Chains A and B, each alone.
Chain A
C-alpha cells in the first residue's frame, strides 16, 4: 500500500500541480486576482495559488458540465448539382481530455454523484457527459470547518464523505496526506511527492475521524418528498417562503446539483454550432412555450418547482437521492437571503398540524 498514501508538504503543492498538469488538465479552486475573496475553480496555470481553506463561490461543476459545450459544428453547402438543395456537414466536437479536479469538497462530489445518476445511469445516456466523466478524477478535501449556511450531513453527505471521490486529501497542518480511493487514481500517485510516513498517516486518520463525527446542519428532510406534494397548491405558503425571490438565477448557477441546460443552434451565415449551455429554472423563459403560454408564470411557481425538483421529484425518480448537497452556496449567494433549509423544514410543520 506504499504507493496508495502520499504526503505533500504545503510548500510543494504548486510543484505537484505543475507536474500533474503535464499529463492531465488540472482544475483548482483559486482566488480571483482582482477580488481576493472570490474563489472559483479554474484550469490550473503556473503561478496560480490554490485556495483550499475557503469554500469556492462557484463550484467545480463547470469542469464536467461546461457552461457552454459544443455538441457539433455544422456547415451548409450548396449542392453543386442542384442549386436549390443544401447539404449539411457535421463536425464532431473536440474530444475531452484526462482531467483532475483538485480541491473538490464532499458536497461538490455529491453533486457529481447526482449528475452520474442522471446522465450516465440510464435510461437515457448522455454520451458527452459520460466521456468527460470517465476521464476525470476527483481529488476531494476533507472538510475541516463549516459555516452558518452549511448543512451537508442533513442531506446524506458529510465533511468526511468519500462517496464519488477518487483521491482523498486530508489537511494536517503543514501539508496534505493524499490517499487513492480506487484504481482509477493509482496512476497519478507517483507524482504526489513522497509516501506518507506513519506519523502523517496517523494524523490524517485523526483529522478524518473528527470530521466524520461532526454533524453539519440539523435539517430533517426524510419526509419532504410527500410533504412537498401536500404543500404544492398552498400558494400562501410559497408566498411566505419565496415572496422575496428575485428570480435571478444565482442559486442555480452556484449549485453543484443543478444541471438544467438549454440547447441552441448558433448560426453565422452558412456555418453554425449546436451548443448546450447552462439554463435556469428561475428564468421566466425557462418554461415559456411557443404559444406564449407559461405554466410557471411567476417566481412563486418557479421557486416551488426548484424545491420540488430537489427534495421530491429527484428522490422519487432516482432511488431516494436528495437533489441537494447541503453546501449552502445558494443561501450565501442569494441577494435576498432566502434559506432553503427553512423552506424545506416548514414543509414538515404543516403536515404535523394536519395530522
Chain B
C-alpha cells in the first residue's frame, strides 16, 4: 500500500502543491532536471512566496475534496522577500492544528521548506507525502451528509 506508480491498483490521488517561485519551485525543477523519480499525483501551483499563502486556500481545497495539500517555501530566514515565510509558518501551523478539530485529518496538509538546490530533498518530500496521503485514503470532503453525494456541479 502506498506505491502510487501503479495506477491500476487504486484511483489517482489529488494532491495540490503550493510552491514558492524562488526556492521550492526551483527545487522541483532541479529534481526534474536530475530525473529523480517521484509519484505523479502532485499538481503544482506556483506562488511568489509562501507569504502569499492564505490558509483559506488550503482549507478550500480540503473541504472540496482534495486528498492532500502540500506547501513548500524557502527556508526560514532565507526568504527571497526576507520575511514572507516567517508570516507563513505561523498561519500554516495554526491551520494545521485547527483542521482536525473540524474533522479533517491533519496529515492531509503538510508544509515544509525546500531550497532551489535541494532536488533530492524535493523527491523525498513528494514521495513521503504522497505515501502519507495514500495511506489515509481518498478524502470524502465535506459532503452533504443527507445524500452522501458530493455536490454535482
Contact = CB atoms under 8 A, between A and B. Distances in A.
A273 B153 CA distance: 8
A266 B153 CA distance: 9
Contacts of B153: 266, 268, 271-273
Interface residues of B, number: 1
A291 B153 CA distance: 31
Nearest to A73: B153
Nearest to A267: B153
A128 to B, nearest CB: 19
Contacts of A273: 153
Interface residues of A, number: 5
Nearest to B153: A268
Nearest to A70: B153
Interface string A266-300: 10100111000000000000000000000000000
Interface string B4-27: 000000000000000000000000
A246 to B, nearest CB: 24
A175 to B, nearest CB: 32
Contacts of A268: 153
Nearest to B151: A268
Nearest to A268: B153
A41 to B, nearest CB: 16
Contacts of A271: 153
A209 B108 CA distance: 64
A271 B153 CA distance: 7
A271 B151 CA distance: 13
B54 to A, nearest CB: 21
Interface string B139-153: 000000000000001
Nearest to A273: B153
A273 B152 CA distance: 11
Interface in B117-153: 153
A272 B152 CA distance: 10
A316 to B, nearest CB: 40
Interface in A228-277: 266, 268, 271-273
Interface string A130-166: 0000000000000000000000000000000000000
Contacts of A266: 153
A228 to B, nearest CB: 43
Nearest to A271: B153
B24 to A, nearest CB: 28
A40 to B, nearest CB: 15
Interface of A: 266, 268, 271-273
5 contacts: A266-B153, A268-B153, A271-B153, A272-B153, A273-B153
The 3 A-B residue pairs with the shortest CB-CB distance, nearest first, are: A268-B153, A273-B153, A271-B153
